[in-house]
Chain A
Amino acid sequence: MHRLVSAAVPLMAALAAFACAAVILVALGASPVDGFRAIFSGAFGSVDRLSVTAVRAAPLILVGAGISISFRASVINIGGEGQIIAGALLSTVVALAFPDLPRPVLLPMVLVAGLVGGGIWGAIPGALKAYASVNEILSTIMLNIVAVQFMNFMLRSPLIDPLEIERGTRIPQTERLSDNAALPTLIGGTRLHLGVVVAIVAAIGAYVLLWRTPLGFRLRAVGHSPDAARAAGIPVKRSIVTALALSGSLAGLAGAILVFGSEGQRMVTDGSAAGFTGSAGFNGIVAALFGGLHPLWTIPSAYVFGGLITGANHLQRVLQVPAALAVTLNGIVVMFVVSSSNVRERMSSLLQARSEFRESESTIASEEVVSS
């Protein structure tokens, strides 16, 4: 019963979102049927499109898996954007510093640098929350802004490509990074690169961490009941910092993958966060909610969202509708999915309350049988 509801509600939300999208398409003078066909073929229509979608999904998987960790510990992390940027910056610095290391050494190093960078950027609001009671929703959002400005500064002066200065164009981007740090392509002729595998492995790792390790046990205990955790001797404050650091580190890994899986093989900014992240820091939250805050379910859920993004871009090209429609579609789906997770929660708590009542009464009944 619970499972059925959990599955049905987000599907209903998706259908409702598509109904809204259909209305918009009609208003724009396009056929909804053609529109949806374009989205679908753009997202999943060929091996090439499937692999583009997978590449778009990889950061969403990572951010989503991280979100699952922090939300399970009852810590809200809206700082994915900033953590992606922090991870990307640190991994870029590492690649710039050691360009000549062989690939088997350098590639793992830049990925770890991504983890560390994002982890530090996540640990800051974690520590602020744990030790100074600063609301993490506010601090993570603020740190997004700080990260963007820091990225712009870094790419405009210390890390800028010397060629850009020479030519006087001053585009805020790094030089082409060492090929030894590039994520190798998995299938020739497609964009599918190792980063997708890394993301899936990391999501599985997040699952193992949450449900198979003492650390994950503590995080979940703190998430459900800080009081009971504290009374049991679990360090609640440290767990909060850990949860946000882990969540941030997965986002940071996504940042490294964005840099070293990019076609330009360099980090570049247009001045905004979304220009670099593609809003993966926010869309990853939605993917995680759509996946029921379960790292493994986040994988297919992120893939669907990746498909929506690539499909909407395709739609725009095929039907010649305004570019804003892609963003709008994304927004509509997000809105419905987020509210559906609320509906799902309320429905399942309703169902749970009912079955709890039943079970508590029947437990009492069974006690009677045992004792008489």
Chain B
Amino acid sequence: MAQDDDSPMLEMRGITKRFPGVLANDSIDLTVRSGEVHTLLGENGAGKSTLMKILFGLYQPDEGDIRLNGESVKIVSPSFAIEHGIGMIHQHFMLVPTLTVAENVALGTRSTRWPLTDPAVVSERVSEISERFGLAIDPSVEVWKLAVGERQRVEIIKALYREAKLLVLDEPTAVLTPQEVDEFFEILSGMRDSGHGLIFISHKLREVVAISDEITVLRNGRVTGHTTPGESDRHQLAELMVGREVSLAPDRPPVDVGEPRLVIKGLSATSDRGTLAIDNLNLEVRAGEVVGIAGVSGNGQRELAEVVAGLRPAKQGSVVQINGVDAVGAGARTTRQAGLAYVPEERMRDGAIGEFTVSENLVLIDHGSKQFSSRGLLRFAEIKRHCRQLVDQFKVKTPGLDTSTSTLSGGNIQKLILARELASGPTVLLAAQPTRGVDIGAAEYIHQQIIAQRNLGTAALVISEDLDELLAISDRIAVMFEGRIMGIVAAEIATREGLGLMMAGVAEGSPA
């Protein structure tokens, strides 16, 4: 490949991709130079993944031109992309857990001693790459023994082993603690300095500002801005992304905190695999406060939410009370009657039924109440009236009440769930990952609704992996690590660093 020093590593010009009825990419330009971290910023559906699939040869553009090092190419397949030095680090790792790092790296590559394998050669090269970029990965260890952050580094090694010069990183920080993010950014800096080009896909504005050299903002299939961290701050980036002004932190007027509504004492519970997921956990959430639960995923947050919702049994002696009503193993009906509203983490699994219509999902809980049924028959007129009102009130954007829910965007499905849960006038709100995968506009709205509930005197427990979210909406933040609360900090005095250390299980915070 003729390396022309003046021409950028990648030039995508006027890329247009149409799907039936949709313009997914509308004449997009993207230029990535060697030694640069180029962020692609945009909400779900903005066209980022379509563009990257075109770059990786999974889609063919309808119009436009792709140049690699000044040379016009037609990327016909992923293998073509890999041959031409493009590497993709997927959000979900593509690793075989029972194989070693070296074996995973060697998968799909041609051995130097074909048809025999060449483990020694692979291991040596993996060590070399690992050392060069400070990845600290032992090639002989099985992948299942590695932590999430390390697995991600194995993915990077896989790409570098295949001599990728241009790496696409699809939301790589979603699975990392703040400290791990810092380490990860050091690795990226090292790769940048060695002349790699990096395309960083993210919607976490803080990280985008921290790592990027160039930022291209996409909205609705079009480039809406091209900027650098020096020129734009987080608020301006959010505006470019959403197309209007957004408030990243909702107003939180002071509210008198009342009596404890959710009381958790000595809670221990197991995960689905039977391992101890929650270990003697104590927590109180009082009327009129938002308590955030921070932590790296897999430290018992999911189990905590399920126990509080009455869906998961707990060990003997565990106490979970919602307004004085025992919730442990009580079932969702009991906890809801006790005043709980539950916004589950997996919204399409536990929160809503994709095949059901919008109105069916809105009455999923109360369909049997006197309001919506009489003499064994559903009262459709009343259901329609109620749902129409909820859809309007909670700004759920849907073509109609009879629309299949699965066709709505993630943000609108989340608003639908929130509308249903808040309609009953709860006194305790449990929301797990309320804005994960939700566009900024909807996230902003959801945050406002949670704060509005708090202002009404609801006790809110919000579980999130997004520290910025918790810092913005919480009154107190509790950090979960290995099933325990490492510490609880008042949000005003909480720092990302302090929380991050607790998330890694390092320091016990002082109770606030």
Contacts and interface: CB of A to CB of B under 8 A. Distances in A.
Contacts of B243: 368, 371-372
B332 A232 contact: yes
B407 A363 contact: yes
A365 B44 CA distance: 11
Contacts of A363: 397-398, 407-409, 412
B24 A228 contact: no
Interface string A347-372: 00000001111111111111110111
A227 B46 CA distance: 31
B378 A212 contact: yes
A6 B21 CA distance: 23
A366 B397 contact: yes
B321 interface: no
Contacts of B407: 355-356, 359-360, 363
Nearest to B356: A224
A230 interface: yes
A363 B334 CA distance: 36
Contacts of B219: 368
Contacts of B356: 220-221, 224
Interface stretch (B82-90, B264-272, B364-372): B364-372
A344 to B, nearest CB: 16
B367 A217 contact: yes
A233 interface: yes
Interface string A200-240: 00000000100011110110110011011111111100000
Contacts of A225: 349, 353-354
Give the interface SS of chain A, mostly helix, strand, loop or mixed.
Answer: helix
B408 A368 contact: no
Contacts of B457: none
A232 B364 contact: yes
B350 A227 contact: yes
Contacts of A221: 353, 356, 360, 364
Contacts of A365: 22, 220
A231 B378 contact: no
A367 B397 contact: yes
B244 A354 contact: no
Contacts of A229: 353, 364
Given A356-B407, A361-B24, A363-B407, A231 B368 contact: no
Interface string B328-347: 00011100100000101010
Contact of A214 (B242, B373, B406): B373
B376 interface: yes
A358 B349 contact: no
Contacts of A228: 349-353, 364
B353 A361 contact: no
Interface string A128-144: 00000000000000000
Contact of B20 (A212, A217, A358): A358
A233 B352 contact: no
Contacts of B360: 217, 221
B317 to A, nearest CB: 25
B349 A214 contact: no
B331 A213 contact: no
B242 A371 contact: yes
A214 B378 CA distance: 6
B355 interface: yes
A281 to B, nearest CB: 28
A358 to B, nearest CB: 5
B332 A227 contact: no
B24 to A, nearest CB: 7
A362 B397 contact: no
A148 to B, nearest CB: 36
B45 A360 contact: yes
Interface string B2-27: 00000000000000000111101000
B167 to A, nearest CB: 27
B21 A362 contact: yes
B441 interface: yes
B304 interface: no
Contacts of B331: 233, 235
A154 to B, nearest CB: 35
Contacts of A218: 367-368
Contacts of A360: 45, 407-409
27 contacts: A212-B377, A214-B378, A217-B368, A218-B368, A220-B356, A221-B356, A224-B354, A227-B349, A228-B351, A228-B353, A228-B364, A231-B309, A231-B350, A232-B332, A232-B365, A356-B406, A356-B407, A358-B19, A360-B409, A361-B21, A363-B409, A364-B43, A364-B44, A367-B397, A367-B409, A367-B411, A371-B242
Interface of A: 208, 212-215, 217-218, 220-221, 224-225, 227-235, 354-368, 370-372
- 4 smallest beta-carbon distances between A and B, as pairs: A233-B333, A233-B332, A364-B45, A361-B22
Given A214-B376, A364-B44, 4 more contacts: A217-B378, A229-B353, A359-B399, A372-B244
